Structure 1
Amino acid sequence: MTTVAGKPALGSIAARLERLPHSRWHVKVRFLIGAVTFFEAFDQLLAASALPVLMKEWHLTTGQATLAVSSGSVGMLLGALAAGWMGDRIGRVRTVALGVAVTGLASLAVALAGGLESFSLFRFVQGLGIGGVVPVAATYINEIARSDKRGRFVLLYEMIFPAGLAAASLVAVWVVPNLGWRAMFVIGALPVVIAVLLPRHVAESPRWLLSRGRTEDAEREIARIEVEVARHTAAPLPAATADIPDETGQGRLRDLFRGRYLRRTAVLSGLWFVAYYLNHGISTWLPSLYTDRFGLDLTTALVYTLLSNITGVFGTFVAAMVIDRIGRRPALVAALSGATLFLGVLALAGAVSGGQVALFASCTTMCLYAVNAGLYLYSPELYPTSNRAKGAAFGGLWNRVGVIVGPIVVGAITASGGGLELVFAQLAVVAGIGAVIALCAVETKGKTLEQLNS
């Protein structure tokens, strides 16, 4: 066992995690953290589901509608910054629980909003929680996964995010027309219960505990995990290997922009921006485009939006099945190239009907959701434990920038009288740029987190 000043080093904790066979403990943890991620995704799409009704009820202009949608995204941007620091400072689990509590309570406040100003304010607060939870939760899942199957393990967990988006669309199909948009935000407050239960049932990351010098706590948590896994598998645990190198890094923010991490951070930031610029540039406006441009009724518009989210779940599943075999870089390049193709077809074909847009937009989201999930796997792999949450959250910062800018650009094009061909053409160009950026990504498949950062 590797030691530092007589204490177990990170490599030994990593080796003990690496030897653990998949068990009901992994399923339990992935389910509990996944429930958090599900509702964060559900809450993220609430504004888009409510937007067609809000525009009529409050007589919103395109600019006001953009504010209603983008206020949550601004909160997510700031939330990602704060949560990255907190995740490395106070722990993964505590940060996730706090973010979930903020998300749920703010959702209740949104449900009581009396106008655009209060709606936007409370969506901003809700965004603080959503933006902080998702990257830190992904960091935690990465830290408990084995290197040889980390891609599948994390991406199957990440499927819960597009499932949450799909659930928001599915629930909205019935709830919004029958109970009103406020009922959607009441449902979005359910995660408050999870925030209370999470710290009691999910062990803190042993990797993080040891990186903070809390050796006894790390030993206690890893021993507790080992006992539970052994009980569930009803077999002795395999022997731990002793050749995993120790990590370098002191947990300073500036380390993300120095040495080999500068390239990683630059590529990751570009990919995050492109992925979410595309995703939200499309998804935020789809329900309104279906109703305003093609004259579809609200139910049909929401069903078409649901179709896009379902194909997104499928795209994430396909990525989970292949990413450990083909690698992170080829998977990202292929998915972004596919998005470029489908958006290009929409631009060239002229987007002449709601059904046509729904078909190719759904093919696009199939690719984009695979990219999004892949980035939640890829981001934590690129940084040492002491900086992992900050690194993942910094990528999350750029996805929030994309979330903000994408809908604004699409809204500006449509408000100025630009055709849908122009909307999809500029999205196709951005997707193509993303594919080129992905070619510069560092490959991480099959390596432990420590090997990638030693």
Structure 2
Amino acid sequence: MTTVEINPIIDNARFTRFHWMVVALCALLLIFDGYDLFIYGVVLPALMTEWSLTPVQAGALGSYALFGMMFGAFIFGPMADRIGRKKGIAICFVMFSLATFLNGFATSPTEFGFFRFIAGLGCGGLMPNAVALMNEYAPKRARGTLVALMFSGYSLGGVLSAGLGIYVLPRFGWQAMFWAAAVPLLLLPVILWKLPESVGFLIRQGRQSQARTLLGCVNPEAPIAVNARLIASDAKGAGVPMLDLVKEGRAAGTCMIWIAFFCCLLMVYALGSWLPKLMANAGYSLGSSLSFLLALNFGGMAGAIAGGWLGDRFSLPKVVLSFFAVGTVAIALLGYNSPMPVLYLLITVAGATTIGTQILLYANTAQFYPLAMRSTGLGWASGVGRTGAIVGPLLGGSLMAAALPLQLNFLAFAVPGLVAALAMGIFIWRYRDSAGTPVASDSASTAKPPLQVSPVVSR
């Protein structure tokens, strides 16, 4: 019996309708995910008024969903390597949609925090699995672009949340924002029908016929003999232990990725939770404050797509480093009195280099780990990063409670960007080839880092 390696078939595939379907479905899921996450920043001013919350209490309440996301990433990332990414994604989607809907019936901060925690479990599990699935099926030459395009749905969800809030909050109250989260559940049958399972998972399960059918959709120009046995070069079987993430020279890369995730998510959720409130305190109306959140998420979409395109043509780790450096400057400048066009530009750049960079970090992480441990690697990176997401709203609440000048608030939000840039600099230096080019990407399959470390075998 002949054996056929699946990775070259996927890597060299021509872009087809199948790829568009995977991108569209994963992006749709992340739109709902982004809506559920950014909704807290939209309703925060109304909640603080209705429940008489202090800034510290409001920051703690905002962190409940992020605690859930941390545990969700730790649980559902590795779980999907065992039960399949399709099942993992479906479970997470139902969990966060139902919990967010129930949030609209909360009558106290305690009830609200409980449902936000459950919603966070689902949101935290969905992200790494959607990225891993998209990364698995994307052709090599467009992998970064497609993952970034898919993940721009997350920012679009934030745009939807802020845009809907401008209309809904004054007319129907904050509860209606949460009730709207039940509508996406109508699409669950479509997702279960059309979303493909991981081909690597099917091979590990011995489901050769289903894997062969999927590969025929991915690359119709690469016929596979009926009696051929499909293999994945880096498949290790189900149940990948966390310790594998630091073996075979991956320890330094894993640590730097975790630091970058922590800092990036701290900035994303500090801005996402507190930007409207900070701007309202600075004298802007509620509508204007929510429009700043719109600009932040539009910037996130633009940054993700542009960054993915640049990463496919140059070096994804270097693009991430550059984004962190630019984001540090843009966020620090937000605290100064600027003309309105300049302020919107700075907020858009801040969104591009925080939300957009988060998306690029997922793409870079997916390319760093082999296929068999990709969901585990993404889940742990996302989970560790969620500690930064938890710190973000708490930091914002503490800064507001201290009544610091606006400049110092944004300067504190900018410092993690500098730390993340340093971490990515170390990552690039550690995983470069003899020509000095970072190999934390698909090029690692042909280039070997110094000291015979080769942790970045794509797929």
TM over 0.5: yes
Q: Tell me the alpha carbon deviations over residues 207-240 of structure 1, each in whole angstroms, 9 at most, x when there is no partner.
A: 2222x2x23x24423324415764xxxxx44899
1:107 offset after TM fit, Å?
1.3
Question: Which of 279, 287, 292 pairs up with 2:276?
Answer: 287
8 Å contact 2:70–2:382 — kept in the other structure? yes
Q: Tell me the alpha carbon deviations over residues 75-103 of structure 1, each in whole angstroms, 9 at most, x when there is no partner.
A: 11111111112111101111000000001
| Structure 2: segments with no counterpart, 5+ residues | 226-230, 432-438, 447-453
1:280-429 matches, cutoff 5 A: 280-291=269-280, 293-346=281-334, 350-351=336-337, 358-429=344-415
Instruction: Give the letter aligned to residue 248 of structure 2.
Output: G
Question: Which of 443, 449, 452 pairs up with 1:447?
Answer: 443
Cα distance in 2 for partners of 1:224, 1:249 equals 20
8 Å contact 1:148–1:446 — kept in the other structure? no
Question: Which of 135, 138, 154 pairs up with 2:128?
Answer: 135
Cα distance in 1 for partners of 2:441, 2:245 equals 21
Match of 2:435 in 1: none
Instruction: Give the letter aligned to residue 416 of structure 2.
Output: V
1:133 offset after TM fit, Å?
0.3
Instruction: Give the letter aligned to residue 310 of structure 1.
Output: F
Match of 2:56 in 1: 63
Match of 1:222 in 2: 212
Match of 2:234 in 1: 247
1:435 offset after TM fit, Å?
0.8
Match of 1:49 in 2: 42
Moved more, 320-329 or 87-96: 320-329
Q: Tell me the alpha carbon deviations over residues 167-195 of structure 1, each in whole angstroms, 9 at most, x when there is no partner.
A: 11111110111111111111112232333
1:245 offset after TM fit, Å?
8.3
Backbone CA RMSD of aligned residues: 2.5
Instruction: Give the letter aligned to residue 255 of structure 1.
Output: D
Cα distance in 1 for partners of 2:218, 2:70 equals 37
In structure 2, relative to structure 1, the CA distance for the partners of 1:219 and 1:440 (3 Å cut) is farther
8 Å contact 2:299–2:356 — kept in the other structure? no
Match of 2:183 in 1: 190
1:363 offset after TM fit, Å?
1.9
8 Å contact 1:155–1:373 — kept in the other structure? yes
8 Å contact 2:292–2:347 — kept in the other structure? no
In structure 2, relative to structure 1, the CA distance for the partners of 1:355 and 1:289 (3 Å cut) is farther
How many positions carry a matched residue from both structures?
434
TM-score of the pair, normalised by structure 1: 0.89
Match of 1:173 in 2: 166
| Structure 1: segments with no counterpart, 5+ residues | 1-5, 231-235
In structure 2, relative to structure 1, the CA distance for the partners of 1:419 and 1:353 (3 Å cut) is farther
Matched, 1:209 2:202: yes
